[in-house]
Copies of this chain bind each other. A is one copy, B any other.
């Protein structure tokens, strides 16, 4: 049995609270599968609980806006990649947080940490931050369904960059930084990639973080969302499932 739903030749992937033998998907998933994907009885669907377990199902009934499913196999636990990977990026107007969250989710990032900065746009003010985070979580669910992840990334509440001072496993993008091969393994099992407001951090800001590792992505200036996506892609190549170890 393949351990990633991505390698299952399924027609669609969705999330449900439980993975019982019989599952009914309604709401946004049910609408998507019945109306947009136009699933038919007998088709294969993989369903995940968002917490790392997925299961293959067969469509039994299609109604308007809902599909009923019956299990076609056992539950499978998707391996975690190690070390875990968190990406923290500043929520400025130009940072395209939706795009970043979509791509980071496809790439398998475990945790997304929105950072407040002096240049943050007003909707990230404290009173509206809840709605904004809820929106990013919806983007993550859609991207996880599209990329057939079994585990949803966590999307934290916004916090200031200074909160990350001394955080273990910090990595900042830096054109003068190190090859990924020289970025040390994180001491507590999680890399925290930090992306500044314009895709880089000032020397002062880096010093304020403590002594983070510095990852070289390329010699040019990167937009914030590009630095986040590229940095995550590069670090992900140095992650592995436990079964793959030792590398």
Interface string of A214-231 (1 = CB under 8 A from B): 001111111100100111
Q: Closest CB of chain B to A24's CB: distance in Å?
A: 25
Q: Please, how many angstroms separate the alpha-carbon atoms of A216 and B108 in the complex?
A: 13
Q: Closest CB of chain B to A130's CB: distance in Å?
A: 28
Decide: B107 and A230 in contact? CB cutoff 8 A: yes
* Residues on B with beta carbons closer than 8 Å to the beta carbon of A237: 179-180, 216-217, 234
Q: Please, how many angstroms separate the alpha-carbon atoms of A40 and B99 in the complex?
A: 34
Q: Which stretch (A117-125, A141-149, A160-168, A189-197) binds chain B?
A: A141-149
Decide: A217 and B229 in contact? CB cutoff 8 A: no
Q: Closest CB of chain B to A188's CB: distance in Å?
A: 22
Copies in the complex: 2
* Residues on B with beta carbons closer than 8 Å to the beta carbon of A223: 106, 146-147
Residues of A within 8 A of B (CB): 4, 6-7, 81, 99, 103, 106-108, 146-149, 175-176, 179-180, 216-223, 226, 229-234, 236-237, 241
Contact check: which of B106, B148, B230, B241 meets A233 at CB < 8 Å?
Answer: B230
Q: Please, how many angstroms separate the alpha-carbon atoms of A81 and B218 in the complex?
A: 10
Chain B residue nearest to A150 (CB atoms) is B220
Contact check: which of B99, B147, B216, B233 meets A221 at CB < 8 Å?
Answer: B147
Instruction: Give the interface centre of A149, A230, A231 by most chain B CB atoms within 10 Å.
Output: A230
Decide: B222 and A107 in contact? CB cutoff 8 A: yes
Contact check: which of B99, B219, B236 meets A217 at CB < 8 Å?
Answer: B236
Decide: B147 and A220 in contact? CB cutoff 8 A: yes
Chain B residue nearest to A144 (CB atoms) is B220
Known: A146-B223, A222-B106, A226-B103. A175 touches B7 (CB 8 A): yes
Q: Please, how many angstroms separate the alpha-carbon atoms of A7 and B174 in the complex?
A: 11
Q: Closest CB of chain B to A88's CB: distance in Å?
A: 18
Chain B residue nearest to A103 (CB atoms) is B226
Decide: B103 and A229 in contact? CB cutoff 8 A: yes
* A-B contacts, 22 listed (Cβ < 8 Å): A4-B175, A6-B219, A7-B176, A106-B221, A106-B226, A107-B218, A107-B220, A107-B222, A107-B226, A107-B230, A146-B221, A148-B220, A217-B237, A218-B236, A219-B241, A226-B229, A229-B229, A229-B233, A230-B232, A233-B234, A234-B234, A234-B237
